[in-house]
Structure 1
Amino acid sequence: MSTRIFLSGGPAELSLIEPVRNVDRLDQKIKVAFGAGYEHFAYHGQNQSVGEENLPVYNWCGRTKIAE
């Protein structure tokens, strides 16, 4: 069963990605493909109201480039 989460933080250009996502587990970092790399997000126990939902917040924690 998946859980809806909210992505937060990072460089300004990340405002172009959809901030609400589904994840299978809250105890793992996630990576989102963006440009020529991946944006990494982690959950640290915070929640935020988004519309009528109270979603876990995954905060941006770094970027890696896609290996060629």
Structure 2
Amino acid sequence: MRRLVVVLLRGGPDDLPRVQEVPADEVDGRLSILRGNGYEHFEFTEEYDDFDGEPAPVYRWSYRTAIAE
């Protein structure tokens, strides 16, 4: 079973949830979140913010890519 980590997202599309659970092995300097027909890309800010009493890494939106057909 893959362990999930809560991350906080800043910026990007307004309809994207700001709190995401992602597999722990995917948490590094960059995240790619599937949305519609593409991916929203986020970069780690090297900051942590409180989420339910625990520190959660903060990622800032950087760009979007489309899925190739």
4+ residue runs over 4 A deviation: none
Question: Which sections of structure 1, spanning at least 5 residues, go unmatched?
Answer: none
Structure 2 equivalent of residue 7 of structure 1: 9
Q: Distance in 2 between matches of 1:64 and 1:49?
A: 30
Q: Distance in 2 between matches of 1:29 and 1:41?
A: 6
Structure 2 equivalent of residue 35 of structure 1: 36
How well do the aligned residues superpose, as a CA RMSD in angstroms?
2.2
Question: Structure 1 vs Structure 2: percent identity of aligned residues?
Answer: 35
- Aligned partners of 1:8 and 1:19 also within 8 Å: no
Matches within 5 A, 1:1-68: 4=5, 5-15=7-17, 19-22=19-22, 23-24=24-25, 26-68=27-69
**Letter of the aligned partner of 2:47 in structure 1?**
Q
- Aligned partners of 1:6 and 1:58 also within 8 Å: yes
Q: Residue 8 of structure 1: CA displacement?
A: 2.2
Aligned to 2:16, the other structure's residue is in SS state helix
Most deviating of 36-45 and 25-34 = 25-34
